[in-house]
Structure 1
Amino acid sequence: MKQPAVYMMANKRNGAIYTGVTSNLPQRVWQHREGFAEGFTKRYGCKMLVWFEMHDNMEAAILREKQIKGGSRKKKIALIEPANPQWKDLFDDITK
């Protein structure tokens, strides 16, 4: 599945949140879960996909990622909770 996506990973409900962009969401989330992605997600144990948004092209996805990263934690939570109030790991949903 090669389609640009913006996504957020967390270590627990209301825990650390990482925002990223990728062209292959299942593969990238798997890398985070398995600890192959160095940096923030590995350091803080962000292994749960809690939010994602698909885009038509990488330029749009990158712009959206920058917008989200530039926003407050409150705004990130406001994106996650309406669609995923329990902060359920959505990985199985994208690999079916």
Structure 2
Amino acid sequence: MSSLSRDDVAHLAGLARIELSDAELDRMVGELGVILESVAKVQQAPTEGVAPMSHPMPLTNVTRPDVVRPSLTAEEALSGAPESEQQRFAVPRILTED
């Protein structure tokens, strides 16, 4: 059993700015205790010689090679735009500074 107390849970809830009722505090003592026990079990796993990884399965990059190929010029891309400015589409501002 975890050594987590009701006061510990109340303190954590306060740090997280979560308001818990008395019943919720009592329930969370047990639930957080189970989580802490599970983490303690995982920490006991033999990990010596195991290389760190970001994903349990090997990943391969499936993107295409970045190859330059013919495309529209800025003038051609902006030819149908109602307004343009500095080789960019000009759109009305919808957000204010404040």
TM-score, normalising length: structure 1: 0.25
TM-score, normalising length: structure 2: 0.25
Task: Report which of the two structures shows the higher radius of gyration computed on alpha carbons.
Answer: 2
Structure with a larger share of its residues in strand: 1
Structure with a larger share of its residues in helix: 1
